[in-house]
Chains A and B, each alone.
Chain A
């Protein structure tokens, strides 16, 4: 596939690892009717995507975005060491800052947009929107306290992280970008059941208003699994399934995206196997066993072979060079290899 400036890419990652057991394995398929029935038949589906890095959501998502297994402390407020896909994209293709965006779940992701690499880094990254932070800021403006269900920040630490406050700059940014008043934003948030719904709402607004060529959304509701409640984990998967289908529909219905957008969907990694003695099954991703390191990826869009399954093992860091080949930039420091099956 030849690279083209009109092409767009949307990446959806699940920043709460999901196991095959609860998704594409036969016993899990009830949880993903949309991905199974609507998206997978249109996709090239990779059944073995291995993550060989640190299995923490921020550092793993950063690794997906750089194409290098990053090694920083998962809970530290640091930028990735290696250039991100957004920096390669913007620098190589001379794209404006409005053309690459990240919508990330928790405050810990606020530095994922650009790296510390001196050849790239500051000023070349993606805009990062933290919907929960926006909402927290809106609430701080006296909007009431009915929204706590949307604000939980991080399920991953043993005791969950608190929400850090938003600020006026971000609220103003929201208003400017979306032409939406804070009160309208809050009114819409009222109708949402989860943080991921808020993220997808913002993604759609972004697509409508700015139509970025590279949009990265990390969903996070699934990570409620760390609380040990299996039913809530399943609800998170079902919600993610529905939201992925919504995004695909949005891509098909937005003139700026229809017919020229590739959608990638992948969990950042899996979760521990039921039988790993060092873990506690679905609850965590601490053992580094094969189940926790292995997940899947689907790619769909124009030119991508439909209903095609790839069983060879690939790595999660292969995403960046694949996107690079698709959009026409060179992620020179990435350690991954392009997935030729979708190029």
Chain B
């Protein structure tokens, strides 16, 4: 029976075999979601592994009638023979792509979404709470290359926190780095503290899991070649390209082995599953932050945006070797302002949302916004403040 899962990595295969009877009892419109996580299990982050294991415990623990009832909305979805005959065991991600297209075409997507949300809600209520050792902290920094702006910054966050208009920017980045490394040392857990940078990370940040746009340039170049080849085919097929991209691994794109398979795979998926992450550093930072929060559920997340390149057409971008890149600092500022808002939303989705802290700073300038249960939301402070004090308010 283990042969059924021979394409799965060892830990994922073992978990699948242990739960084989359960998997066989689940409807086809549901089970590939578990298989998609199982087939990547060995490279998933610890929190993801725990959650998947918990899902098996949850589903196994339901009485048969309960489980049948919970799965009913998935079981009643009408699939086609073609979809049912797909290799959903070995290619769950591709199966889910096809399933999604079918559900849209047959107007079953709304019912499916409702069923999924209901399942996740009930599972989350059941799932044991893991107490965080400290409140979560998110920090977003942006604005490099912009001297002044007419754009009203932090516009979507102002009603959540305090707008500081007299921040002393001196040594601001150093103070942030100090806060990050102090937290990483105090609460040392794998993948609990992250740094995502839209350019390069030059500082030493011990204890942090670091991802940067520039460090992935060789991978992006390899991906561009794969995409160009797909474009160049006589019959370009976006779905086939998605399948191709989904199958890409760090080895496929000759990514240097960092010794951390989970992180290497995570970084590749940022480029293969993200849209626009391959070409715009601002999109990369926002998407990386979203995925880090969703998958690793860190205690600390620091994002720093850099100017992305000016808009060019996709084929220009993919063929851009040797062409001078023109930055767009003003546009990047607006992108990052929205990106920071999305990071806050994603932070709020995690356990401990009520106690989460968030700081967003217009780098090198006097404007910042801080969110904390201890700060009065929707207010403004015109009192001069330096970055260490501001960060201290979020401790």
Please give the residue numbers on chain A whose beta carbons come within 8 Å of chain B beta carbons, in ascending order.
Answer: 27, 52-56, 69, 71-73, 75, 148-149, 151-152, 157-163, 224, 226-232, 234-235, 274-275, 277-278, 280-284, 287-289
The answer to whether A288 and B109 have CB atoms under 8 Å apart is yes
The answer to whether B335 and A229 have CB atoms under 8 Å apart is yes
Q: Which B residues are in CB contact (< 8 Å) with A160?
A: 314
What 9 pairs across the A-B complex have the smallest Cβ distances? A228-B283, A227-B276, A157-B238, A228-B276, A231-B334, A231-B331, A230-B338, A160-B314, A71-B105
The answer to whether A161 and B275 have CB atoms under 8 Å apart is no
B115 proximal to A (CB < 8 A): no
Q: Can you list 9 residue pairs at the A/B interface with Cβ under 8 Å?
A: A27-B155, A151-B315, A157-B242, A160-B314, A162-B315, A163-B315, A229-B331, A280-B342, A289-B113
Specify which of A53, A158, A281 lies most central, judged by the most chain B CB atoms within 10 Å of its CB: A158
The answer to whether A278 and B275 have CB atoms under 8 Å apart is no
Q: What 5 new A-B contacts, CB under 8 Å, besides A227-B280, A231-B334?
A: A158-B245, A159-B227, A161-B231, A274-B156, A283-B275
> Smallest CB-CB separation from B331: which chain A residue?
A231
Please give the residue numbers on chain B whose beta carbons come within 8 Å of chain A beta carbons, in ascending order.
Answer: 101, 104-107, 109-110, 113, 116, 155-156, 227, 230-232, 236-239, 241-242, 245, 273-280, 282-283, 286-287, 290, 308, 311-316, 328, 330-335, 337-339, 341-342, 345, 349
Q: How far is the CA of A322 from the CA of B93 in the complex (A)?
A: 42
The answer to whether B113 and A162 have CB atoms under 8 Å apart is no
Given contacts A158-B241, A162-B315, A281-B342, contact A229 B290 (CB under 8 A): no
Distance of A190 from chain B, by nearest CB (Å): 16
Q: How far is the CA of A211 from the CA of B168 in the complex (A)?
A: 62
Given contacts A161-B236, A228-B276, A274-B341, contact A149 B312 (CB under 8 A): yes
> Smallest CB-CB separation from A225: which chain B residue?
B276
Q: Which B residues are in CB contact (< 8 Å) with A289?
A: 113
Q: Which B residues are in CB contact (< 8 Å) with A73?
A: 101, 105
Q: Which A residues are in CB contact (< 8 Å) with B337?
A: 230
The answer to whether B335 and A230 have CB atoms under 8 Å apart is yes
Q: Which A residues are in CB contact (< 8 Å) with B290?
A: 280
Name the one of B104, B315, B333 contacting A55, with C-beta atoms under 8 angstroms: B104
Q: How far is the CA of A230 from the CA of B333 in the complex (A)?
A: 10
Q: Which A residues are in CB contact (< 8 Å) with B242?
A: 157-158
Given contacts A152-B313, A226-B275, A228-B286, contact A159 B245 (CB under 8 A): yes
> Smallest CB-CB separation from A280: which chain B residue?
B290
Q: Which A residues are in CB contact (< 8 Å) with B231?
A: 161-162
The answer to whether B107 and A274 have CB atoms under 8 Å apart is no
> Smallest CB-CB separation from B104: which chain A residue?
A54
Name the one of B109, B313, B333 contacting A151, with C-beta atoms under 8 angstroms: B313
